[in-house]
Amino acid sequence: MMKKILSILILALLSSHVFAQDILEYETRTFSPYWYIGINVGSNLYMAEGNDFLSGNDGVRFSLRDNSGTTIRATFGRRFTPVIGVRGYAGYSSYKWLSAYHLNPVVTFGSEFITADLTISLINMLEENYSLKRYDLGLFLGTGLQLRNEITSPAVAASNSSVTPVGRLGLEASFLLTNYLGLSFGGELNFVNDNNNGMVAGRNYEFIPAFSVGLNYQLKAGKK
């Protein structure tokens, strides 16, 4: 499934030159509010007890192979002004966590989630140019809920499924391939409660950096 989605994203990027004329026409239009939908895939790093190399603690054990998972999600959003918009995500993430607290095995678990973001177009905010553009750089801030599935790994005490709040922030660059279809690249930080991985050890949160690529389809593309 992941390979098919990535193949679609690559084909969309390679075919973008076919739509150059459409994009030129798009940039002559003025902004009007619009809805959009999309799909997004990416990779995450689970940073918690014993593997958080940013903590400055001795004995930290971190490995990209043993601490990275995948995320897939659908989005639905609205741009209200050239600067401000909102969007929602619904999806699933798989996580891996291996730390200095346990040598083996790698703790694996998954989570379903829903989040809502406030999106801010930095390009339009700084340029104060409200014509539609084929590129954008945006900031987003959001919150939501995550349903973490049961953890049964022998590396930690048995942990039943639980619901935890999520806080998130990040940056996203986007580029139009056609009048309506866009490609996006994002980086973000997600914060969840301690014990999300089945262990409590001295702080109130765990954080999850993530990187993603996505396709968005605008249901309306401005007016002439």
Taking only the tens place, the pLDDT of each residue in 4-55 is 555 655 555 555 444 444 554 555 567 788 999 999 999 998 877 655 555 5
Contact 110, 161 (CB under 8 A): no
Which pTM value belongs to this model?
0.78
DSSP run (H or E) holding 209: strand 205-218
**How far, rounded to the nearest angstrom, does the alpha carbon of residue 161 sit from its chain's CA centroid?**
22
For residue 219, give both structure tokens: 């249901």
Structural domain contains residue 55: yes
Domain count, the chain: 1
CATH code of the domain covering residue 148: 2.40.160.20
Structural domain contains residue 224: no
Return the higher-pLDDT residue of 93 and 98: 93
Res. 160: pLDDT tops 80: no
The pLDDT score that the predictor gives to residue 20 is 47
Q: What whole-number distance in Å separates Cα of residue 143 and Cα of residue 3?
A: 29
**Boundaries of domain holding 164:** 2-218
SS3 content of the chain, % helix, strand, coil (to 5): 15, 55, 30
